[in-house]
Amino acid sequence: MLWRYVKAQLMVLLCGGLVGPIFLIVYFAAGQSDLLKWMFYAGLAITAVDILVALALANYGAKSAAKTAALEQSGVLALAHIIGMGETGTRINEQPVVKLQLRIEGPGIASYEAQDRVIASVTRLGNLTNRKLVVLVDPATQQYQIDWERSALINGLVPATFTIAEENRTYDLSGQTGPLMEILQVLKNHGIGMNNMIDLRSNPAARQQVQAIVRRAAPTQATTQQPTAAAAAASPMPGAAGAPSSQYAASPEPSVSQRLQELETLRASGVISDEEYSTKRAQILADL
């Protein structure tokens, strides 16, 4: 808590909170002159406000961290489909805030809809345009928290490659939402956090479960990468490319009008430039 307060206090000082201490320094350096007595009272008041703001930020950060820890411990890992997105007209640090309409579904919880407001930063744009987010849900209250790091994995914004040493082979599961959600659930169950590279050799149980999921998803990957006319004419088989996971059904494709409306929202909010808007709009119209 102390370190959290120190960081919050430094942030407040860097964002204009230095005025109070400067007034106090000038007042005492000038020999406590009566002409500068206003600096003493103003500096004292501003410094007191700085301290209160830093304490509030530290307290908020501590509560947020505690909520995240509780959800990691007992929350349900679920998938939120973005079924609607609109602008709010609000900006935070020059970044637009957008309103999301979500449909949340996951193992052990009934599917439900929710609304949220998020900052559409550049790092989050890929997750928003892919219309899928990973969330941690409290099954008792249905309160949830978006996990942007896990969302980036299932949306293909970071590599999803898995190497099995015994086979001397690397599998790429990028874009396979179902298997990746299962793997994320295994990692969560074993208390393994998300890092750039995860080595499961020290955890045989988790390693065995992840390997089983990767091997099961491998035929799907091969079918997707090498489609043939014969395969297209064949009857669907379990595990075939495009078959949704039993826990996470595929989200219905948005209509062209919905995609164009969301594109308009992103441009109006300043998330994308006019050039990016024109390019994406041409791509959507080309799909007609």
- Both 64 and 12 in one domain: the answer is yes
Assigned domain for 207 exists: yes
Which range of residues forms the domain containing residue 201? Answer: 159-227+238-251
Assigned domain for 13 exists: yes
Residue 155 confidence (pLDDT): 92
- Both 223 and 271 in one domain: the answer is no
Whole-number average pLDDT of the chain:
79
- Both 264 and 222 in one domain: the answer is no
- Both 247 and 175 in one domain: the answer is yes
Residue 227 confidence (pLDDT): 44
Assigned domain for 193 exists: yes
- Both 15 and 56 in one domain: the answer is yes
Number of domains within the chain = 3
> Each residue of 163-198: pLDDT tens digit?
888 888 899 998 889 999 999 999 988 888 777 678
- Both 198 and 268 in one domain: the answer is no
Domain end: 31, 51, 72, which one? Answer: 72
Assigned domain for 79 exists: no
pTM of structure: 0.63
Assigned domain for 171 exists: yes
Assigned domain for 136 exists: no
Tokens 């109006």 found at = 268
pLDDT-based confidence at residue 70 (cuts at 50, 70, 90): confident
- Both 180 and 245 in one domain: the answer is yes
- Both 246 and 166 in one domain: the answer is yes
**Percent of the chain's residues with pLDDT above 70:** 79
Residue 12 confidence (pLDDT): 67
Structure tokens at 99: 């309103």
- Both 182 and 246 in one domain: the answer is yes
Assigned domain for 108 exists: no
- Both 52 and 11 in one domain: the answer is yes
- Both 244 and 276 in one domain: the answer is no
81 pLDDT higher than 50 = yes
Domain end: 49, 72, 95, which one? Answer: 72
- Both 244 and 184 in one domain: the answer is yes
Assigned domain for 86 exists: no
pLDDT-based confidence at residue 54 (cuts at 50, 70, 90): confident
